[in-house]
Amino acid sequence: MVSAIRPFQQRWIVALEGVGDRNAAESLTGQVVLAERIDDPDALWVHELVGAEVVTPDGRAWGQVAAVVANPASDLLELADGTLVPSVFVTDASGLPERVVVDPPEGLLGGPA
Indicate whether 50 and 97 sit together in one domain. Answer: yes
Report yes or no on 107 lying in a domain. no
pLDDT at position 112 is 46
Q: Do 69 and 98 reside in the same domain of the chain?
A: yes
Q: What is the pLDDT of residue 113?
A: 43
Residue 45 is given by DSSP the state -
Average pLDDT of the residues in 64-88: 94
Indicate if 51 and 20 belong to the same structural domain: no
Task: Supply the range of the domain harboring residue 62.
Answer: 46-102
> Could you tell me if 63 and 54 are in contact, meaning their C-beta atoms sit under 8 angstroms apart?
yes
60 is a domain residue: yes
**Phi and psi based region of residue 81 (left: phi greater than 0; alpha: psi -120 to 50; beta: remaining):** alpha
How many domains does one find in the chain? 2
Q: Please indicate, yes or no, if residue 40 is contained in any of the structural domains.
A: no
Do residue 62 and residue 92 come from a single domain?
A: yes
pTM above threshold 0.85: no
Give the mean pLDDT of 32-45: 81
Q: Nearest 5 degrees, angle CA 62-CA 64-CA 68?
A: 115
Proportion of the chain above pLDDT 90, given as a percent: 49
